Amino acid sequence: MVNRAKSNRIMCINCNLCINKLRRYPALELDKKITSLLSEWVYPQIITQDDVVCEACKDLAMAKVNVFIKQEVTDDDCQQAGPSPRGHTNVCPLCGISILRRQSNKILSDNPSELHQAIYDIIQNRLAPRQITESDRVCHACWLRTRRQVLRINSLAKSLLSIKDAPQEPAPQEPATLTEPSTSGSTPAG
């Protein structure tokens, strides 16, 4: 029995590969040590009932656990293992396809343009609580989709701004008679 995720796209919680058509394992039903190692890797994501891992990530975690057991390393040593290993690298974290042979875009940039920064913000928002790392890339289709989203938001913001500016047109001049001191004319009856 395999858990059916609610979305149509089933992604490995660790490496984000789309594994609808691949072998997958419910992350909570693996060996306790493997599950706890996986939850360290995906931290601050929390592994839930619906989460699955791909075979490569499961094997990777299993191998690590075996190494830990052999070497009797302490938990502290595990923490210093560096960046979390992933069964598959070169995966678009947004849609889960492999970007090994596809055009892809770096999410983080050393010197991002305003547009790039806005794209980054949206992607980070979608992936939260997972943090984007230096090496993370998205496929070009997802990049363009996010870029369009940014441009749409920008043009929306601009039109909102222009609405705000609109009332600042010069107000219609009031009739001169009202601003002039009333030197003559009828005085209210008293």
List residues near Zn ion by CB under 5 A: 12, 14-15, 54, 57, 87, 92, 94-95, 139, 142
Closest separation between CB of residue 68 and Zn ion, Å? 19
Q: Give the shortest CB-49-to-Zn ion separation in angstroms.
A: 18
Cβ nearer to Zn ion, comparing 14 with 39? 14
CA distance 19 to 88: 11
> Which phi and psi (to 5°) does residue 130 adopt?
-65, 140
Shortest Å, Cβ 52 to Zn ion: 9
Q: From the CA atom positions of the chain, what is the Rg in Å?
A: 29
Residue number with CB closer to Zn ion (14 or 35)? 14
Specify the amino acid at residue 56.
A
CA distances from 3 to 26, 28, 35, 158 (A): 7, 11, 16, 45
Residue closer to Zn ion (CB basis): 105 or 118: 105
